Structure 1
Amino acid sequence: MIKPLFRNAVLCSAVALLGMTTAGASGTLKIGTEGGYPPWSMVDANGKVTGFDADVGNALCKELDAKCRFVVQAFDTLIPSLDANRFDLIISGMSVTPERSKRITFSIPYVVEDTTFILPKNSDLVGADSTDTLFKGLAGKTVGVQGGTTQGDFLRKNAPELKVKPYDTLDQMQMDLDAGRLDATFADVTSQAKFLKKVGDKNFALAHFIIKSTADPETLGYGIGVGINKNNADLKQKVDAALCTLIKNGTMKEASIKWFDVDTTNYDVCKS
C-alpha cells in the first residue's frame, strides 16, 4: 500500500499548458490524481504514478498528441486545485455527480462502477439481499469510507444510523479494518476486491449484495469521468472524442481487465 506522504505530496512541479486549445496540439497536460487508491491510482517506490487512472491518462495524452505530467495530492483537494488551474484535468476514479458538476465540467463517463461492503467473514450480513438488511444490521456500527467520496455521501444520506468514519487514504481505512477498529468498509467493488485479493479471505468477505450506482445516481454518480475546468469547453470536446476512440479501439477494455479483472467500460456513451 502507498504511504500517506506519497498521496499528499505533489510529485511533479507545475508547468504551463502549452497549446492545448485544440486536440492534437503539442504540449503538456497536467493531470491531478490521488495516488493512493489501488488499483485506480498508486505511486510506486520511484514516485511513478501507476494504475488504471495512469493508463487512461497516458492513453488520452497519446491520443491528443500531448505529454502527461501527473500531480499527486489528496482526493478532496483535486476539485479546488482544478478550479485554481493548478492542473488541466482530473483523472482519479471520480464519479460524475450533480454536486461536483456545479464546480467543474466532466467528460463523458467512460467507465461505470458499483459499490459494496467488506465485512467480517463470519457476519450474517455477508449474505444480505438488500440495502435495508445491511443498514439495519450495521446500525450503530462504524463503517470506514474514504473522505470526499460518493460512498460517504451515500451512507450519510441513506443510512444515518451508521457511524461513518472517513479516512484520508484507502490504505489507512483498510489497515484499521484489518486491526479490528472498523466493523466494515464501504468502497467501490474493484478496490474492495483488490484488498481481499491482497490479504486473502480468511477474515473478511465482500457483501454479496452489490449497490449499483443507479440506486442513487444523484449521490453515487453516473459513472467515472475526467474532470475539466468549466472555462475550457474546447478541451472537454477533445477529451470526449479521444475517450470515445479509446473505448471503440479496445484500449479502455484492455486497461480495465488489466487492473480490475473485469471490463467496466461504458460502451453506451459513445454509441451515438
Structure 2
Amino acid sequence: MTLTLAAAALAFATASASADSMKITIATEGAYAPFNFVADDGSLQGFDVDIAKALCAKIKAECTIIKQDWDGMIPGLLAKKYDAIVASMSITAERKQKIDFTGKYYNTPAVIVARKDSAIKIGADGHIDPASMKGLKIGAQRATIHENFARANFPGAEVVVYDTADNANLDLMSGRLDARIDDILALESGVLKQDGGADYQIFGKGWTGGILGDGAGIGVRKEDTKLRDALSQAILDIRADGTYKKINDKYFNFDVYGD
C-alpha cells in the first residue's frame, strides 16, 4: 500500500510539474504591423500573435501573450519576465550570444522606402548605389538589424533611430526623414498603404542574410532547450498541417516563410 501511495504521489508530482511547464508567457512588441500591433479593442493582434497562438495550441501549452517595448525585449527575457519572444526578432550571431532561437518562422527582405522623387540611384546589380545615399537621413528602429545594416552599408548617410517603427514612419511621411529602412512588409503596411503612401516607393532589390540574420525566430533563454525544441518542431508541424498557410494568407499574398 505504501508503495502504491508513493507511486501515486510521484505520478501526481510529475503531472503537476508537466502542467506547470506548459504555462508559457510570450512577449511581443505590439507596434510592428502587420506582424504585431494593438487593435482598437486593446488586444494584441498580427501575424506574430497568430503564429504564437497556433504554436501554443500545437504543443498544448497555456500561453499568455504580453506587450513589451522593443528595447527591453531581450533583457526582459533574461530577467524571466516571460519565457519566449515572438516579435519578428531576427536570428543573428550577436543575439545568439545572449539568447537562443528556434528555427525561423518567416524570412522576408529588408528594403529602403523613400519618396518617388528621391535622388536615390540604383546600381547595375539592382541594388541601391551607396554613394547616392550620402547626406540623406535614414530612419530605423533602434537596436534592430535594419539599424545595423544601414550603418554598415550607407556610411555617408545619417542614421536616425526611433523607439518604434510607427514613429519612424511618421517622420518619413512628414518630411523629417529622406528614407526608411525596415522589413518590406512592415514598410508596405506602415508607409505605402497609408494615406499619402502613393508618393513613396521601394528602391532597388531587398536584402537578406549576412548581418540581417537567418529570418525571424522565437527567442528563448539558453537553458530552455526543451521549450526551444518543442517550438521548433511545432513550427514545422503547423507548416505541414496547413495552419501556417491559413495564418499567412490572412495577412500576405505570398509565402513569407522563404526558401
Fold agreement, TM-score > 0.5? yes
Measure how far apart 1:20 and its partner are: 10
Report the secondary structure of 1:86's partner residue. coil
Q: What pairs up with 1:53-202 in 2 under 5 angstroms?
A: 53-125=48-120, 130=125, 133-195=128-190, 196-202=192-198
Instruction: State how far apart, in whole Å, the 2-side matches of 1:150 and 1:240 are.
Output: 22
1:227 aligns to 2:230 (yes or no) = no
Measure how far apart 1:105 and its partner are: 0.5
Q: Which amino acid aligns with 1:204?
A: Y
Q: Which amino acid aligns with 2:244?
A: M
State the match for 1:34 in structure 2: 29
Measure how far apart 1:126 and its partner are: 6.7
Cα distance change on mapping 1:199 and 1:246 into 2, 3 Å: same
Instruction: State how far apart, in whole Å, the 2-side matches of 1:241 and 1:189 are.
Output: 27
Instruction: State how far apart, in whole Å, the 2-side matches of 1:129 and 1:264 are.
Output: 27
CA contact (8 A) 2:172 2:179 kept: yes
Q: Which amino acid aligns with 1:234?
A: K
CA contact (8 A) 1:110 1:247 kept: no
CA contact (8 A) 2:140 2:160 kept: yes
RMSD: 2.2
- Unaligned residue ranges in structure 1 (runs of 5+): 1-18
State the match for 1:263 in structure 2: 255
Percentage of pairs with the same residue: 31
CA contact (8 A) 2:24 2:64 kept: yes
CA contact (8 A) 2:106 2:256 kept: yes
Cα distance change on mapping 1:254 and 1:134 into 2, 3 Å: farther
Report the secondary structure of 1:119's partner residue. strand
CA contact (8 A) 1:126 1:205 kept: no
Measure how far apart 1:29 and its partner are: 1.3
Instruction: State how far apart, in whole Å, the 1-side matches of 2:127 and 2:121 are.
Output: 13
- Unaligned residue ranges in structure 2 (runs of 5+): 1-14
Which is strand-richer, 1 or 2?
2
Cα distance change on mapping 1:179 and 1:128 into 2, 3 Å: farther
Is the radius of gyration larger for structure 1 or structure 2?
2
CA contact (8 A) 2:30 2:68 kept: yes
1:62-111 CA distances to partner (integer Å, 9 max, x unpaired)? 11112221121211211111111110100000100000000001001121
Measure how far apart 1:134 and its partner are: 3.4
Cα distance change on mapping 1:85 and 1:21 into 2, 3 Å: farther
TM-score by length of 2: 0.87
CA contact (8 A) 1:28 1:67 kept: yes
Report the secondary structure of 2:226's partner residue. helix
Report the secondary structure of 2:217's partner residue. coil
